[in-house]
Amino acid sequence: MTQLSVNINKIATLRNARGGDIPNVVKTAIDCLRFGADGITVHPRPDERHITRKDIIDLKAMITREYNIEGYPSEDFIKMVLEVNPEQVTLVPDGPDVLTSCAGWDTVKFSDLLKQVITIFKEQGIRTSVFVDPKIEMIEGVKLCGTDRIELYTEDYANNYRVNKEKAIEPYILAAEKATALGLEINAGHDLSLENLAYFVEKVPNLAEVSIGHALISDAIYLGLENTIQIYKRLCR
């Protein structure tokens, strides 16, 4: 069964809109796990426009399953991850001015950087995942960097699902097959939703984990958080 990690950035965004501590990020994370999520994902930004450094520290003490921290491997990010020591770190190529993730790494061009950062995290026993587009050359490149996992960037799939889902899924199947052949585990995320998740899970082989935030938290407004997580979990089977 594919694991479900809930990205709670949007909870922090809502809290920060008014200041204070409502909704409470830590309580939401605990509730997500209680309702069946397999892990919690956060993606802090340098300007702390949603998840803050304090949130990162506070969550570590309370999360009883997988804790996944995403981010660009700046010096401050690396230092924070080493301090928190989460189960998984996901490296993304986003600069500080990027609103949301919009591309995977060029694992050939940035091979030296990725190798260096991955070595630092693996020496501390932190599993590493690298955000990549579903391109064979990028999968081959990231294998040489020493990562444990890849995270397939799924925006293209989500955008084209309604147009032609068979064509939309094809590059992800090929990328997953290549990753498996190279001994890499496979995560996926970005714009996966109630509409398109089941087909993705069904078709992409050896999918270990999906990370879902925006769609899941938005659905929870209408369906309730517990019910929403249970629905997503069923789609992961």
**More confident of the two residues 39 and 19:** 39
- E-strand spans in the chain? 3-7, 39-42, 66-71, 88-91, 127-132, 149-153, 185-189, 207-212
pLDDT in the model for residue 103: 79
* Mean pLDDT (the chain, rounded): 95
The pLDDT tens digits of the residues spanning 100-132 come to: 556 799 999 999 999 999 999 999 999 999 999
CA angle 39, 81, 97 (to 5 degrees): 95
pLDDT at 196 over 70: yes
Active site annotation includes 70: yes
- Provide the 10 A C-beta neighbour count for residue 89: 29
Q: Look up residue 87 and give its DSSP letter.
A: S
Q: Kindly report the CATH number assigned to the domain that includes residue 54.
A: 3.20.20.70
Give 218-221 contacts, CB < 8 A, sequence gap 24+: 218/10, 219/193, 219/194
Residue range 208-233, pLDDT digits in tens: 999 999 999 999 999 999 999 999 99
Which residue of the set 50, 66, 151, 190 is catalytic? 190
At residue 7, the pLDDT reads 98
Between the alpha carbon of residue 68 and those of residues 21, 62, 63, 71, 126, the distances in Å are 22, 13, 10, 10, 10
Closest CA to 161 of 152, 172, 145, 175: 172
pLDDT over 60 at 149, yes or no: yes
d(CA 226, CA 220): 8
Give per-residue pLDDT as tens, 45-102. Answer: 999 999 999 999 999 999 999 999 999 999 999 999 999 999 999 999 976 555 455 6
* Boundaries of domain holding 91: 3-235
Between CA 110 and CA 146 the distance in angstroms is: 13
| pLDDT the model gives residue 94 | 74
Say what the pLDDT of residue 229 is. 98
**Looking at the predicted structure, is the pLDDT value of residue 39 above 80?**
yes
With a CB cutoff of 8 Å and minimum separation 6, the contacts of 232 are: 4, 194, 197, 212, 216
pLDDT of residue 232: 98
| End-to-end Cα separation, the chain, in angstroms | 5
The whole-angstrom separation of Cα 21 and Cα 166 is 44
Mean local confidence (pLDDT), 189-195:
97
Phi, psi dihedral angles at 158 (to 5 degrees)? -65, -40
Instruction: Please give the average per-residue pLDDT across 168-173, as a whole number.
Output: 98
| Residue in 43, 50, 151, 209 annotated catalytic | 43
pLDDT above 70 as % of the chain:
97
Name the domain count of the chain. 1
Q: Which of 50, 66, 70, 209 is labelled catalytic?
A: 70
